[in-house]
Amino acid sequence: MTASESLSALLDHQRETEALAAIAGRLEWDQETMMPPGAAEQRGEESAAISHVLHARRTDSRIGDWLAAAEGAEMTDAQAAMLRHIRRDFDRTRKVPATLAAEIARVTSVAQGRWAAARAADDFPAFAPVLARIVALRQEEGQALADGGDVYDALLDDYEPEMTATRLDAIFGEMRPRLTTLRERVLDRPEPAGLTGAFDEDRQLAFTRTLAQTFGYDLTRGRLDKSVHPFSSGSGADVRITTRVNPLDPFNCFFSTIHEVGHACYEQGIDPAYALTPLGHGVSMGVHESQSRIYENQLGRSRAFAGWMFDRMRDSFGDIGIDDADTFYAVVNRVQRDFIRTESDELQYNLHIMLRFDLERALISGDLAAADLEGAWNERFRADFGYDVPRPSLGCLQDVHWSVGLFGYFPTYSLGNVYAGCLHKALRRDIPDLDDHLARGETAPATSWLRDRVQRHGGLYRPAEVIERACGEAPTAGPLLDYIEAKFGALYDL
């Protein structure tokens, strides 16, 4: 085979793998939205079968041969980027022994149920041995991946390629004192009132469709369904989102939808020429989260957009118990004493993440035993939030992530916020009259800018490079912190 034939063979193989991975993703979507409850056990076997096929394709030794043989081939920048992704994934997948990968899959599939039971019973000791086993397996995997380097970094690299804990330390080190200080000052102020009354579920769903389309989500290449936890799923021409509806809390439904629309628009915005290639997905969890966060927060919770949304909600629901747009803006940005990450506001959210980041690093390094997690969590929570965690379901058992083996994932949420801060600063610089548009419900100037600067590139550039190219400078935490301090300072008359 010539170099160019090897390149073709490699990309053909990869394309079929991508198509099969898309099917596996759709199967997960089905499981969360459509699957009848009695089908769960059978579905487990189906999922294992397609995972097995994908693993075999991704570790196929011909990939190594093709990669070597393709080196001399003439190729476009996009093809070179594709090969970079393929080599990276191939190397990573091959480093992990199949028996270890299978054991991780087995243990985590059982562990999720054990975690849910422990959380329901508020019984951390019941979960601690399971967690210890997961940590041990992921340590082993990290060692296999790290080649003598940092084990945590090797795990992090799966979600945020080329990011390191040391760099995150620097970023988070700047954020933590400024956020805890601001948090204390805000919580000294009187708390704004919340929403009262019940909001019809069908009208909420109709309103979410309006919001999704307002932010540019293309429903001819997607769909909106209900699920227990909102998520976005798929790439290219089939990117689906879900939401959940609570009659007492329409904002949860609306802002989680805008959040998922941000993820979905990233996928929908990628150059169609990259579909079913390694470039046809969001490039990292952090960059993905930057899109969902800027849609949800910097745009969706802005004063200008809140005014438009306030009017539309009154059109749809009548009297909502809020009298003016300023109050509405305050309500959707309310900072409260709470324990739950997923219900947190822009100010406190990153404190939740840093807590998890430090604890999971300590677990992986061995400095913290799984059995001691609850105590460590509660101590750190008290330090950063100022009050005690009453029970583990409001503390270290609140998130599913560790039970399914996700270590190195949490920090990408805050990294996404940092990236969103940088993008927002550049966006405001480039579109000075953005608020005039947002006040009319026009998101297109912002979303087009994001599509052009970030989304369309898919996996073409490295994660931090995408943000730097979009903003014209390397990402730092400064813009996010400045934005948060200005916004909440004004909201709370500090």
Residues 193/331, Cβ–Cβ less than 8 Å: yes
CB of 56 to a second copy, least distance (A): 10
Q: Whole-angstrom Cα distance, residue 411 to residue 395?
A: 17
CB of 227 to a second copy, least distance (A): 13
Comparing CB distances to a second copy, the nearer of 19 and 121 is: 19
Comparing CB distances to a second copy, the nearer of 12 and 323 is: 12
Compute the half-sphere exposure of residue 84: CA atoms within 13 Å on the CB side of its CA: 15
Is 85 annotated for ligand binding? no
Q: Whole-angstrom Cα distance, residue 344 to residue 333?
A: 10
Q: Whole-angstrom Cα distance, residue 183 to residue 406?
A: 28
CB of 236 to a second copy, least distance (A): 5
User: Which residues in this chain contact a second copy in the complex, by CB under 8 A?
Assistant: 15-16, 19-20, 22-23, 26-27, 30, 34-39, 41-43, 45-46, 48-50, 52-53, 218-223, 236-238, 240, 275-276
Closest CA to 255 of 187, 319, 207: 207
Comparing CB distances to a second copy, the nearer of 127 and 217 is: 217
Sheet holding 240-243, edge to edge: 224-226, 240-243, 232-233
Is 140 annotated for ligand binding? no
Comparing CB distances to a second copy, the nearer of 13 and 176 is: 13
Does residue 473 carry a catalytic annotation? no
Comparing CB distances to a second copy, the nearer of 50 and 245 is: 50
Is 288 annotated for ligand binding? no
CB of 267 to a second copy, least distance (A): 12
Q: What are the structure tokens assigned to 446, written together? A: 């912002």
Closest CA to 356 of 368, 343, 346: 368
CB of 245 to a second copy, least distance (A): 19
Comparing CB distances to a second copy, the nearer of 41 and 319 is: 41
CB of 215 to a second copy, least distance (A): 17
CB of 369 to a second copy, least distance (A): 39
Catalytic member of 260, 346, 360, 374: 260
Comparing CB distances to a second copy, the nearer of 27 and 102 is: 27
Would you name the residues annotated as active-site residues?
A: 260
Residues annotated within the binding site for Zn(2+) are 259, 263, 289
Residues annotated within the binding site are 259, 263, 289
